[in-house]
Amino acid sequence: MATIARPLNSWDIAKVIGLLLMVIDHTGAYFYLHEEWLRAIGRGSAPIFLFLAGYASSYRFNRELLVLALLMSLSNIIMGEYTSPLNILFTILLCRGVLAWLSKRGKTIVKPLEWFVGCALFALPTGFLFQYGTLGMMLAVGGYMKARPAQYALRTQKLFLGGTFVSYALTYTLLFGLGPSSFILMSCVLLAVFRLLWRLDIYEVNTAGWPTGTASLAKFSSRYSAHIYAFHLIAISWISGYPI
């Protein structure tokens, strides 16, 4: 296993939580299709990674991410399936690209409300083009604002991110046709994820007393989270016979 020299930090923990929720989500999506509670829990995964796309300190283009995204699409094509909507890795690349464009031109998001309304209006139609549609952009903007406390009032940040989570919950309740119990379960998970992201600051995690190798595994999983996502999804897609 490759070693990551830096200490384990809160960023890594957030990504590991996202990966665990992802596994639950995909277990329900590919192997237990009638157990909607698994999908309800798994809905907490994507907001973490999309938020972190905006919270990141750099938005430079990531070739590895593009290669992984293309491999997933190629897997679908080989299976004789459609590649639309484009997978979440394309969504993350798009979000990073928009924020990189703003950064390179010295611009900032001056009117968050307009971004919120615009993205919310186009969330459903764009969801047919790329996973999570402009809801993904809303989550990334939430991370972008969180990383710039000097530019955005705490109230503005909280309202934007909270409104985004409400929009996300309502959208996927409608798309999945979740029953009342699954909706409540998803809402509880999303509330926990919201609190995790709202309070997120980057700090070193004290791993004293952790089982040997656990911290290294967590750092490895964080560093290669996109690789884990892509290759495990390709594998279970072929095993189950369902497209990505």
pLDDT tens figures, 201-229: 999 999 988 998 999 999 999 999 999 99
3-state class (DSSP) for residue 130: strand
204 bridge partner residues: 9
Widest Cα–Cα separation across the chain: 50
Asked if pLDDT for residue 76 goes beyond 60, the answer is yes
Residue 1 lies in a domain: no
130 bridge partner residues: 86
Q: What are phi and psi of 204, to 5 degrees?
A: -70, 135
Torsion region of 209: left, alpha or beta (phi above 0 gives left; psi -120 to 50 gives alpha)? left
In this prediction the pTM is 0.95
**Count of CB atoms situated within 10 Å of the CB of 65:** 18
| Total domains, the chain | 1
Residue 5 lies in a domain: no
Residue 2 lies in a domain: no
Residue 4 lies in a domain: no
Residue 3 lies in a domain: no
Residue 98 lies in a domain: yes
Residue ranges making up the domain that contains 72: 10-240
- The encoded tokens of residue 41 equal 């829990």
**Contact between residue 65 and residue 89 where contact means Cβ atoms under 8 Å apart:** yes
